[in-house]
Structures are given as structure tokens and as C-alpha cells.
Amino acid sequence: MICALAFTVGSAWAQPSPTAEVAKLLEQGKLSEAAQRAQNHLKQNANDVPMRFLQGVIATEQRKYDQAIQIFTALTQDYPGLPEPYNNLAVVYAAKGEERKAAKCLSRPFAPTPATPPRMRIWATYARMASDAYAKALQLDGSGKAMQPNCR
């Protein structure tokens, strides 16, 4: 599942922000229109982090995995304290069948600070636990392929 950043959109009386408009298009499944609006907005506002993130989500939804990897990788380099781009990068690598790269993205240490919202501190803990469990499962299987669940 793709993780989305929680961004403040503003009051109900304010005109929707470009990020909110693109997010709505994405939610409606209008991927091409959302991608075009995001790209146009980023031409004028290249450092708009929420829009850059949405652009990566759109690329992922369009199965343009190499583009999504570029976007999320750039976000991790520009903002290494944000865990969401690492999470989404892991999702993209997993979708491409590159489980080891996915696990590596999730194992990146995220050092929460007292200023980090509590939900993000919890996320960091769960991400670290999931990454450790996944890495251990890969070592036990040895094939590097996803194992089929046994639900019987």
C-alpha cells in the first residue's frame, strides 16, 4: 500500500491548494490529469515537497516504476528525515520484484526526535520491525523470492 503524507490543506473556505487538487484527481483515478497538473506545478515550484511526493505516488500508480524510484530517491536525498519516501521506495522496489532493495529501504534508520509526531515514532518502530522480519525471512528462504503463505 502506498503511504501518503498528511499535509494541511487549509480551511474549508479557502480555495483548494494545488496539492489538494492533484490528490483529489489521484483519488478519482484520473492519473494522467493528476500527473500533468503536478508536473506543471513543479515547473514553477520545484521545492514543493508534498507535490513531489504526490508525483512519485502518481508514477507508482501508473506503473512507471523507474520514474517513481527517481522521484522518491531524490526526496530521500533532499529530506533524509522523512520516512514516507523510503516507505514508498520500498513499495516500488517490491512491485518490481526487487525485494532486497525494498528491505534495504525499510531498514534505513529513522531516528525520531522529540519533535517527531508520535504517529511517526510509532511508524518508525513498525517499519524497523517489519524490515528485520523481512530480512530474516529472506535469509531463511535463501532464494530471494517471496514465499507463498500457508493459511491452512
Q: How confident is the model at residue 29 (pLDDT cuts 50, 70, 90)?
A: very high
The domain 18-141 is placed in CATH, from the list 3.40.50.1820, 2.30.130.40, 1.25.40.10, 3.40.50.170, at 1.25.40.10
CA atoms within 13 A on the CB side of 136: 6
Q: How confident is the model at residue 136 (pLDDT cuts 50, 70, 90)?
A: low
Q: How confident is the model at residue 148 (pLDDT cuts 50, 70, 90)?
A: very low
* Residue 148: count of CB within 10 angstroms of its CB: 6
Domains of the chain: which residue ranges? 18-141
What tens digit of pLDDT does each residue of 31-76 get? Answer: 999 999 999 999 999 999 999 999 999 999 999 999 999 999 999 8
What is the percent of the chain with per-residue pLDDT over 70, rounded to a whole number? 61
> In the predicted model, what is the mean pLDDT of the chain?
76
